[in-house]
Amino acid sequence: MTRLLMTADTVGGVWQYATDLAHGLTAAGMTVELAILGPPPGEAQRAAAAGLTVIDTGLPLDWLADGPAAVEQAATAIAALASARGADLVQLNQPALAIARFDRPVVAVAHSCVATWWDAIERGPLPADFAWQTGLIARGLANADAVVCPSRSHAAAVQRTYRLPRAPLVIHNARDRAAADGALHDFVFTAGRLWDRGKNVATLDRAAARLGVPFKAAGAITGPQGDRVAAGNLHLLDHVGDDTITRCLSTRPVFASAARYEPFGLAVLEAALAGCTLVLSDIPTFRELWDGVAVFVDPGDAPAFADAIEALVADPQRVAIGHAARERALSYSPQRQIGAMIALYDRLLPATRWVAA
């Protein structure tokens, strides 16, 4: 039976990605262990990982570390852990960790990074603390046996930013949720790391001031480094559990995201799976994934967001429009994701190592 050591963190969407993938791979016959970096999992996060082996390493998360030495030490510790646990291969959801010498194949998954984030929302040279992180990520990506990104647009950005000789392999993220069956409600919903300037919640807050329906926003309002969202018109739900988000989506509100930076967007996928209509910022990732089933708006144009939302709330075809989004969402299935990851592992491991259930 193939043994996989996978790193994860609890700060953003990587936790959902890692636990969902680990459950799927376990069902397919692999033994998966999650090595956690950064803050330990909370109660709800541990519940999501029930049945999985979770190793709370106490090691720093790369983009929260106070310098390159801490990341280098964490990378060395993860390589030693992989050896001690008898892993056949390692999946690093923090590519900088691949700077260490691993004696087994390494898959680096580039979910996001400070350099591509900066390029999407700022101007000028990288700050010093971003520059050293980018240097470590560049080394890690160069060392990895395979690099994966969740969308073609992010893969292109990663290849360009880090001057990779080949484009990363694209394997879309996935979620598995039932269609919503609640009565249709007239409100707007968004979710994610609200404190992250890349999510551009300020535009949604300005749009909310122009709307005649409530606008609810779920997600952490304060970041691990003290960043905090300022919103006077949104109804902030703060960091809530999956059950609350599921209840909100079950009534198929209009879902809006004004993100300027989004390598994939699990929150959009969850909304589409519920049959919500989508109003999204016109950025490459969203065009790639949702063109034809969403309304696209310039990320800085709050009046246009308000107009698009009001039009969808009043549209008699709203249910049908949401159904089209759901049909697209179903193509980003866990089965396809798991199959693609297993195919990648197969290419990296000797054939005798893999025994499917």
Mean pLDDT in runs of 10 for the chain (357 residues)? 94 89 96 95 88 94 90 97 97 97 96 94 89 96 97 98 96 83 86 91 96 92 76 84 86 96 96 96 98 98 98 96 96 96 93 45
**Other residues' Cβ atoms within 10 Å of the Cβ of residue 52:** 18
Q: How far apart are CA 162 and CA 58, in angstroms?
A: 29
Q: Which amino acid is at 290?
A: W
Task: State the pLDDT at residue 140.
Answer: 97
CA 162 → CA 116, 138, 242, distances in Å?
10, 6, 35
Q: How far apart are CA 290 and CA 158, in angstroms?
A: 21
Q: How wide is the angle at C-alpha 175 spanned by C-alphas 172 and 181, nearest 5°?
A: 140
Q: How far apart are CA 112 and CA 261, in angstroms?
A: 9
For residue 85 the two structure tokens come to 């646990």
CB of 7 closer than 8 Å to CB of 78: yes
In eight-state DSSP terms, residue 300 is T
Q: How wide is the angle at C-alpha 87 spanned by C-alphas 19 and 357, nearest 5°?
A: 65
CB of 262 closer than 8 Å to CB of 286: yes
Q: How far apart are CA 155 and CA 148, in angstroms?
A: 8
What domains can you pick out in the chain, each with its CATH number?
3-174+333-353 (3.40.50.2000), 188-330 (3.40.50.2000)
In eight-state DSSP terms, residue 188 is E
The tally of CA atoms less than 13 A away on the side-chain side of residue 77 is 17
Task: State the pLDDT at residue 354.
Answer: 43
- CA-nearest of 300, 258, 243, 249 to 277 is 249
For residue 254 the two structure tokens come to 């209009």
**Other residues' Cβ atoms within 10 Å of the Cβ of residue 320:** 11
CB of 294 closer than 8 Å to CB of 325: yes
**Other residues' Cβ atoms within 10 Å of the Cβ of residue 132:** 17
Task: State the pLDDT at residue 351.
Answer: 55
CA 47 → CA 108, 206, 341, distances in Å?
26, 36, 24
In terms of residues, how long is the chain? 357
Q: Which amino acid is at 74?
A: A
State the SS3 of 26-69: HHCCCEEEEEEECCCCCHHHHHHCCCCEEEEEEECCHHHCCCHH
CB of 194 closer than 8 Å to CB of 220: yes
Q: How far apart are CA 290 and CA 280, in angstroms?
A: 9
Which distant-in-sequence residues (6+ apart) come within 8 Å of 4 by Cβ? 25, 30, 31, 32, 33, 87, 88, 89, 90, 91, 345
